[in-house]
Structure 1
């Protein structure tokens, strides 16, 4: 863009900011959540409880961190989230603790929270928004929707735009690279992976990889060792439970007929960078893309 158009662009951004602020201040907020339910708020939420670690992170990324008054265990990013009152775990929410915080919005996780608990919160008159990103675009749109609900549209807009821009850069660089057949391992006992509908599988595709178990019907299926050997992935990527590479990843070296083992393509990515549906998933994607490039170089 030439310099002569920049003032016009700046004015457009200012107009957008003013429009977003006016909308947040006066308009009723009507959204449809990821469970297909319509939610109406008369005004932006001021007291939000998060029922999943990824939701907590999304709320902070959308500029609504100062409106979050409670969260579930393991809501550990950003650092400010660790100081929030806790309301149990995502699969065993303490409903009394949630109600005691007097939220005007609860943001839940579709596949993580128990439906009965969400129904009970709704019965108490607490608005519940259900979140479930299944694609990278869903992460960006989640930021925008949460920004609308919290009245922080401008911050959320910028966060979503930055996410989309970074995703596009990764797609341009790696999306057309020669495919690498990839097995993503969540855990070893039971041996778990992801199917093609899972967000992690979309990250694999972003990097030019092919999920060898994309065709399975379950979102996070259990598979057997023989199935992995039969699929013969060129790369195995594991997450585990924390920052340390899991010891069980190297057990694949015992199968010397496995291409991933033969070529030393046994990779690790910390789970918080690839298993949370947040902007940081592109940090995990960057690592994964670099790892699949290593696998290509070893052919």
Structure 2
């Protein structure tokens, strides 16, 4: 290449680089992008932090608010009721049936999808809108903090998200230190009674049970939420039976959801009065408030330990 031509090319490259640097310095549009890996293992890339976000799961709504992106939420599904301000966000259907026209009209630049909770056919139609999708489905307690930081990156709220993740991790670590090495308690977690359903060891609630020093008596079953017989529960003879309720239940009040187990007083959990119900929103939604549900479950299992000791004496 001739010397003059080389100098000309070098000059143009230098000017272009300076222009890009200036754009970055002044906050104007530039070619930089942001990305995060979602719970489907896919990399979600945006040209700039999301400004108009739609949540298609109540737990995702909680994660978005906790990560600092609540003001950017322009649509959410039914039952997105926490924090309280989420109740005023326009609805775009529920987890099974989306209003696709409404979603498109809201012009989102990011949609947070519940990976296995939203119907696949609906997800396929969402893809046709060519709007970035972030699949959210935390499986383990530690995944909640990871979800916060990843969403914070896409929302441009990294500082708030990092603080929320740190606070969550601290709470979980404190509970683990306090309870995980205490005397083990055999736990049966009842998801539903007709048919009788529970959770296996891969479920986040099983993580919570272990955090509290409990042992999920059906951890080895398959699938994630297996169906089982009453006889299987009787054979497992759990020390405590736990379920989720629509609202918090005082520990010593009658529990209608578990009343059917009183027909089998030979079960340790029944004999010792270890039938516990915890607010489902704090235990079944894989968001930051699961730390509150975990604290309640740990207290219940400690109560079961004390009753065990008093029985032994």
TM norm. shorter chain > 0.5: yes
Aligned: 1:34 with 2:39: yes
Deviation, 1:190, is 2.1
Segments of 5+ residues of structure 2 without an aligned counterpart are 1-26, 309-313
CA contact (8 A) 1:239 1:246 kept: no
Q: TM-score, normalised by structure 1?
A: 0.89
1:48 to 39, 44, 53: 53
CA contact (8 A) 1:134 1:199 kept: yes
Aligned: 1:76 with 2:81: yes
Deviation, 1:186, is 1.7
Tell me the residue number matched to 1:284: 293
The higher radius of gyration belongs to 2
Aligned: 1:234 with 2:239: yes
Deviation, 1:241, is 3.5
Tell me the residue number matched to 1:161: 166
Tell me the residue number matched to 2:5: none
Deviation, 1:116, is 2.4
1:249 to 258, 275, 278: 258
Alignment of 1:11-30 (within 5 A): 27-30=32-35
Tell me the residue number matched to 1:62: 67
Once residues 63 and 27 of structure 1 are traced to their aligned partners in structure 2, the CA distance between those partners, rounded to angstroms, is 22
Q: TM-score, normalised by structure 2?
A: 0.85
Deviation, 1:243, is 4.3
Once residues 123 and 257 of structure 2 are traced to their aligned partners in structure 1, the CA distance between those partners, rounded to angstroms, is 37
In 2 relative to 1, CA 88–243 (structure 1 residues): closer, same or farther, beyond 3 Å? Answer: farther
CA contact (8 A) 2:241 2:274 kept: yes
CA contact (8 A) 2:35 2:153 kept: no
Once residues 31 and 194 of structure 2 are traced to their aligned partners in structure 1, the CA distance between those partners, rounded to angstroms, is 52
CA contact (8 A) 1:61 1:156 kept: yes
Structural RMSD (CA): 1.5
Q: Could you list the structure 1 runs, at least 4 aligned residues long, displaced by more than 2 angstroms after superposition.
A: 240-246
Deviation, 1:29, is 1.1
| Alignment size in residue pairs | 276
Tell me the secondary structure at the aligned position of residue 186 of structure 2. strand
Once residues 31 and 96 of structure 1 are traced to their aligned partners in structure 2, the CA distance between those partners, rounded to angstroms, is 27
Tell me the residue number matched to 1:17: none
Aligned: 1:151 with 2:156: yes
Aligned: 1:180 with 2:189: no
Residues 76-108 of structure 1: CA deviation (Å, up to 9, x unaligned): 000000001111111222222211111000000
CA contact (8 A) 1:187 1:239 kept: no
Once residues 219 and 40 of structure 1 are traced to their aligned partners in structure 2, the CA distance between those partners, rounded to angstroms, is 31
Q: Which moved more, 1:27-36 or 1:102-111?
A: 27-36
